[in-house]
Amino acid sequence: MFPSTASTQRTIVLIGKESTGKSQLVASLTHRTPYSSNFRGSTVTCETYAGDGATFVDIPGILYRSDTATTRVALERLQIHDTVLLVVKATHVDEDLTDLLPLVAGKQGIVVITFWDKVLPSTITQQTVQRWEQASNLAFIPVDARHLTATQRQEILAAMHEPSVFPSQWHLIPAGWHIEPRPTLLEHPRLGWLLAIALLLIPAVLAVWFANTFAAIVDPLVQGLVNPTVEALSGLPSLPREILIGRYGLVTMGPLLFVWAVPTVILYALFLGAYKASGLVERITVALHPLLRPFGLSGRDLVRVIIGFGCNVPAVISTRACSSCSRKTCISAIAFGSACSYQLGATLGVFSVANLPYLVIPYLLYLAVTTLIYTRLIAPKSARSPQNSLMIEHRTFLDVPRWSAIWRETKGTLSQFFTNAIPIFLVITLIASVLDWLGVLNRLSQLINPAMGLFRLPPEAALPVILASIRKDGLLLFAEPNTVSLLSPVQILTGVYLAGVLFPCLVTALTIAREQSLKFALGLMVRQATAAICFALVLAWGGRLLWAV
């Protein structure tokens, strides 16, 4: 135990490569819930855990020989503090020690070897660890971070209370073992990428299907509860009435958001949490990297785009773990093709109201194809180079995901959803209501009505396009009876595609500006709008010809 007085409070930095179990280890040491899970680059900021008179700082995992923002942050934070808890992986312990010991030379601390359960216990393994301790005068403590025992916890805390200095010159005696997980079908040269694509589509399809089935049952009940409130508020003055129960009022649009979007967020977060906690995301990353590289993306970037299907905000933030040559391309791909929960829920709602649920298949296919074309056009040459190999250390071990880890990921996504997206949703609702009350939205619609003809859309489609550019649940305006009855299947497909990708929603745009710069965010919006218009024109006129055939 550490003394708990303020004068002896010690700050300890956990350093290690990606996916070594640092977050789980520090959570077990402090009896806290870890903020990240089993996929590379899941820790993108420095997380602080307090306990037993010490403050533990979990810095992002180091991707060796990488220029990611998270690796730079990790190395910068390492320079600030002198006490280190070095975490290495038992399966590749020789390599990890060789790479990381020079970074901590001269600092004080201990070494914890995680994934020890993957090493067969024997006299040789015990002797190897003992030789390292004798040669370096450091404490080496082998553990399984996911199942840290009380004895191991006390041993680590006691060792950190009296840390040793990492030697600047130490010739490591190799352990001699190198353990790789068994390959699966995802590593098959011909079938791997097909299975990877299927595994990515299944959660999206199931999440949206279950969420929309739920919404179809609950929506009439919610509307029944809301109607008396609407009637009670109908006597208010015009502006407050418009803000609360107008076309875009809080009471009017709020139930649509929570009934259609929230279930999709929760279910997709559960699926994605299971993928992360099991290590499956990393296997998918490796399988799809050869297909994505010609488009300027890596398998690691794909993980971030998939995260965006739950919520774009954490997806954009997580790009800090992307290589600098591909991070901006990855952000652009998220803004363009990562159909967040708002967009998916609203789009499926429109298809359902139109009695055309099968349109989700051509919609997702066209969205995927156009996103790849778009990223291919904007990606720098360095990101598309065949020499740009996947920066990843080793194949991840697959584990049966624990419910606690899955729920942790779900809570993280929901936290981002409610603390980042919902407040801006309320502000946008207020602004949209005031603009509608002033008649500004109608005048804007009249201005762009002629442009709707270019996409073979009626004037009534202008307003959904405008509102969806502010927040993606504006797509639900296509579901209004007076609008959807005027549209053919191709027009519905064109309308929701154009409204969905013309601009990133305001929440995403603000997050991009914060992560990069306002100039980058504005340039991204111009490029995205140009590409969206071109792709929507192709869909409108080409789809008409295909539908006629």
Distances (CA, A) of 111 to 16, 108, 165, 393: 10, 10, 11, 20
Average pLDDT over residues 408-413: 70
Grouping H, G, I as helix, E, B as strand and the rest as coil, residue 223 is helix
Q: With contact defined as beta carbons under 8 Å apart, do 107 and 75 qualify?
A: no
In terms of C-beta density within 10 A (0-12 exposed, 13-18 middle, 19 or more buried), how is residue 60 classed? buried
One-letter amino acid for residue 20 of the chain: T
Give SS3 for 321.
Answer: helix
Structural domains in the chain plus CATH codes: 6-165 (3.40.50.300), 187-383+402-548 (no CATH)
Q: Is it the case that residue 5 has pLDDT exceeding 50?
A: no
Q: What is the pLDDT of residue 112?
A: 94
Query: How far apart, in whole angstroms, are the C-alpha atoms of residue 278 and residue 369?
Result: 29
State yes or no: pLDDT of 184 exceeds 80.
yes
**Residue 190 is inside which H or E element, if any?**
none
pLDDT of res. 154: 92
Q: What is the DSSP string of 414-462?
A: HHHIIIIIHHHHHHHHHHHHHHHHHTHHHHHHHHHHHHHHHTT--GGGH
Overall average pLDDT of the 386-411 stretch = 69
Structure tokens given for 291: 């297909």
DSSP single-letter state for residue 475: G
Lowest mean pLDDT across 132-146, 203-217, 412-426, 517-531: 412-426
Amino acid 3: pLDDT: 47
CB 193 within 8 A of CB 287: yes
Interatomic CA distance for residues 485 and 355, integer angstroms = 11
pLDDT, position 388: 53
Per-residue pLDDT, 366: 94
- Please say if the pLDDT value at position 35 is more than 60: no
Q: What average pLDDT score do residues 339-353 get? A: 73
pLDDT digits (tens, 9 = 90+) for 138-170: 999 999 988 889 999 999 999 988 899 998 887
Range in 132-141, 271-280, 507-516 with the lowest mean pLDDT: 271-280
**pLDDT tens per residue, range 365-388:** 899 899 999 999 988 876 666 655
- Compute the distance between CA of residue 358 and CA of residue 510 in angstroms, rounded to an integer: 33
Q: What is the pLDDT of residue 4?
A: 46
DSSP state of 294: G
Q: Are 86 and 16 in contact (CB under 8 A)?
A: yes
Query: How confident is residue 519, by pLDDT bands cut at 50, 70 and 90?
Result: very high
Tell whether the model's pLDDT for residue 84 goes beyond 50: yes
Pairing state between β 10-16 and 140-142: unpaired
What pLDDT shows up at residue 492?
A: 92
Counting beta carbons within 10 angstroms of the beta carbon of residue 444, is it exposed (0 to 12), middle (13 to 18) or buried (19 or more)?
Answer: middle
User: Judging by beta carbons within 10 Å of its beta carbon (0-12, 13-18, 19+), is residue 537 exposed, middle or buried?
Assistant: middle
Look at residue 82 in the predicted model and tell me its pLDDT. Answer: 78
pLDDT recorded at residue 546: 67
* Predicted confidence (pLDDT) at residue 6 exceeds the cutoff of 50: no
pLDDT tens string 425-457? 677 678 778 888 998 877 877 787 788 889 998
% of the chain beyond a pLDDT of 70:
81
Residue 239 has pLDDT above 80, yes or no: yes
Q: Average the pLDDT over 101-118 and give the result.
A: 90
pLDDT of 387: 55
Q: What is the mean pLDDT of residues 271-276?
A: 80
* Average pLDDT score, the chain: 80
- pLDDT grade, residue 73 (50/70/90)? low
Would the pLDDT of 318 be above 90? no
In angstroms, the CA 1 to CA 317 distance is 36
Quote the pTM value.
Answer: 0.67
Residue range 492-498: mean pLDDT, rounded: 93
Q: Is the pLDDT of residue 331 over 80?
A: yes
Task: Grade residue 132 by pLDDT with cuts at 50, 70 and 90.
Answer: very high
Sign, Cα dihedral of 201, 202, 204, 205: positive
Give the per-residue pLDDT at 307.
67
The 3-state secondary structure of 59-120 reads: CCCECCCCCCHHHHHHHHHHHHCCEEEEEEEHHHHHHHHHHHHHHHCCCEEEEEEECHHHCC
**Positions of E strands within 98-226:** 108-114, 140-142, 164-165
Q: How confident is the model at residue 478 (pLDDT cuts 50, 70, 90)?
A: confident
Q: Hey, which residues does 141 pair with through a beta bridge?
A: 112
Query: Is the pLDDT at 299 greater than 90, yes or no?
Result: no
